[in-house]
Amino acid sequence: MDATTPARTARNTAPRGRNPRGQGERLRVEIVSAALRLLDELADDQALSMRAVAREVGIAATSVYIHFADRDALVLAALEQCFADLLGAVDDAESGAADPVAALRARTAVLGTWSHAHPGLYKVLHESALNRRTDMSFKDEMSRRTTAAIRRCMDAGLAPAGDAKTVSLDLSTAVHGAVSLRVNQPDLPWPPLDAQIDRFLVKLVGLPPR
């Protein structure tokens, strides 16, 4: 899966061999990757089981519990990895931009297209009850970076001056709303997501039209 999760492959059917001594971290990474694949399919962290993750990796369920005390701990670790990879993808998109406006457009496009392409992970990341049970403040970093990107546009005179944090919150609300409605009501006649996101950037941030 782009940015966060490997492409879906056939499930493991044969038991895996024991990891060589000192490779426990490698097994942990495999467990997290398997959890991400299953969460993207299930779109519900409550439907995930430790046994299913163990089968996906090809290990005994007890091996999963060595690394994660319970399902919430595993899901949280998976979402943190997912978010870190998404941040990296956004940074990569911005790095090739010619100016602050292009950078803001690039980062917002990545967020929109990733969320639309991975509705299962999107729902768990933003709509699951885990958000109320667990500290997920790691997600705040995306808002901080979006605010900084908007501020750079303002400082360069490429967007109207204003409260970058408030504008960032408005933009995030609009983009998340557009994605969430598509995820939960996919049969409605939605306009192209990229075009809608660009209208948000014009109307809410004040960027010039493409």
- Which of the pair, 124 or 9, is modelled with greater confidence? 124
Please identify which residue in the block is written with the tokens 């049970």. Answer: 133
On whether residue 41 sits in a domain, the answer given is no
Report the percent of the chain where pLDDT is more than 90: 80
Residues 194, 196: Cα–Cα separation, whole Å: 5
Tell whether 36 is covered by a domain.
Answer: no
Position 36, amino acid: L
Residue 135 within a domain: yes
**How far from each other are the two terminal CA atoms of the chain, in whole angstroms?**
29
pLDDT of residue 205: 98
Q: Find out whether 165 and 173 touch, Cβ atoms under 8 Å.
A: no
Please check whether residue 156 lies inside any domain of the structure: yes
- Residue 66, in any domain of the structure: no
Q: What is the mean pLDDT of residues 105-133?
A: 91
Q: At residue 13, what are phi and psi to the nearest 5 degrees?
A: -120, -25
Tens of pLDDT, residues 64-116? 999 999 999 999 999 999 999 999 999 999 988 999 999 999 999 998 889 88
Residues in the chain: 210
Q: CA-CA distance, 70 to 86, in Å (whole number)? A: 25
Let me know if residue 53 belongs to a domain: no
Question: CA–CA separation, 25 vs 30, rounded Å?
Answer: 9
Query: Is 177 a residue whose pLDDT tops 70?
Result: yes
Alpha-carbon distance of 176 to 199, in angstroms, equals: 14
pLDDT at 192 over 60: yes
- Domain tally for the chain? 1
Query: Does a structural domain hold residue 54?
Result: no
Q: Domain for residue 173, yes or no?
A: yes
**Could you tell me the CA-to-CA distances from 202 to 35, 39, 100, 132, 158 in Å, in that order?**
38, 34, 14, 33, 11
**What is the per-residue pLDDT for 20?**
54
Q: In this structure, is the dihedral angle defined by the CA atoms of residues 155, 159, 163 and 168, taken in order, positive or negative?
A: negative
Which residues span the domain enclosing 85?
80-205
Listed in sequence order, the residues at least 6 apart from 122 whose beta carbon sits closer than 8 Å to its beta carbon are 115, 179, 180, 183
Q: Rounded to an integer, what distance in angstroms lies between the CA atom of residue 93 and that of residue 46?
A: 33
CATH number at residue 166: 1.10.357.10
